[in-house]
Amino acid sequence: MLRDLCCILALSATVGACATYPEESERRFGDSVRHMIEVQTYTPSAEVPPLLGDKAAAVMDAHRTDVTKPEEVSQELLQIQVGN
């Protein structure tokens, strides 16, 4: 009887320690989405640095040379035998 009571108390203490209030965990829920929307939204008054021809050419050159070339993928025939 005392053993059962101790087990029940230990179990309830364990469950109670893990419980959180939903408002605490959900208080900042969605902050990352709101932040990403904010930083990706165009602001007309913001100064945008120009993309000059030399810079654009260097970017495209780096993109074309640094991207790995996919190798040909060989497909082997898969045989599944059921039974004999």
User: What is the C-alpha to C-alpha distance for residues 29 and 35, in angstroms, rounded to an integer?
Assistant: 12
At 19-35, the pLDDT tens digits run: 666 676 677 888 999 99
Buried b (16+ CB within 10 A) or exposed e, 22-52: eeeeeeeeeeeeeeeeeeeeeeeeeeeeeee
- For residue 76, give both structure tokens: 């082997």
Sign of CA dihedral 56, 59, 64, 70: negative
At 40-69, the pLDDT tens digits run: 888 888 787 777 888 888 888 888 876 656
User: What is the C-alpha to C-alpha distance for residues 63 and 56, in angstroms, rounded to an integer?
Assistant: 11
pTM score, two decimals? 0.32
